[in-house]
């Protein structure tokens, strides 16, 4: 099977949104949104939830393209730049190759002797994939971050629950 390579065909959109502003004046606002997302997530982690709680949990843990999202590990990050790359608009989620074709070919060449001894062909069936999430964290179309091995919470700012 063939998958897309990391970042292939992922495009952001130039925006003018305070939600995505990287201006120092907006950072406190972004910090508040991150905290709200984590508190919202915690409030749905209850045993025998009421139907509305179940609906909210399903909505926030199944983000859709276009949602404002927060990657759950950013609450614990101290590096402000890294932290604010974890909040933005979800623009794509897909299964894709873990590395580019060039990186894959270089790894195969570097490990050819080991692969031969282990009986690994180096064909695409031996190639690893990632479940990749792409978010636009700033107003510039170039402000895109790729996340893997992660979990997101949606802040449903548009419309209702479900």
Would you state the pLDDT for residue 104? Answer: 84
> pLDDT digit string (tens) for 52-76?
999 999 999 999 999 999 999 998 8
Q: Does residue 112 have a pLDDT over 80? A: no
What percent of the chain has pLDDT above 70? 94
- Mean pLDDT, the chain, rounded, equals 89
- φ, ψ for residue 125 (rounded to 5)? -65, -15
Q: 96, 99, 100: which is closest to 134 by C-alpha? A: 96
| Alpha helical stretches, state H, the chain | 27-43, 51-61, 80-84, 101-110, 112-118
> pLDDT digit string (tens) for 15-29?
998 889 999 889 899
> pLDDT digit string (tens) for 65-109?
999 999 999 988 888 888 889 999 999 999 999 999 999 888 878
> pLDDT digit string (tens) for 116-142?
777 776 667 778 899 999 999 999 999
Q: What are the strands of the beta sheet with 68-71, ordered from one edge?
A: 144-147, 129-136, 87-97, 68-71, 152-155
């Amino acid at each position: 099977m063939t998958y897309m390579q990391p970042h292939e065909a992922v495009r952001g959109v130039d925006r003018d949104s305070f939600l995505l502003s990287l201006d120092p004046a907006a950072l406190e606002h972004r910090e508040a949104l991150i905290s709200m997302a984590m508190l919202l997530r915690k409030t749905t982690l209850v045993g025998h939830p009421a139907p509305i709680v179940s609906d909210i949990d399903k909505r926030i843990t199944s983000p859709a393209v276009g949602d404002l999202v927060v990657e759950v590990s950013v609450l614990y990050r101290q590096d402000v730049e890294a932290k604010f790359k974890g909040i933005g608009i979800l623009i794509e989620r897909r299964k894709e190759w873990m590395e580019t074709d060039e990186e894959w070919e270089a790894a195969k060449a570097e490990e050819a002797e080991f692969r031969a001894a282990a009986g690994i062909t180096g064909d695409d069936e031996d190639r690893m994939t990632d479940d990749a999430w792409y978010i636009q964290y700033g107003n510039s179309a170039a402000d895109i971050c790729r996340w893997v091995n992660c979990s997101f919470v949606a802040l449903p700012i548009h419309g209702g629950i479900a």
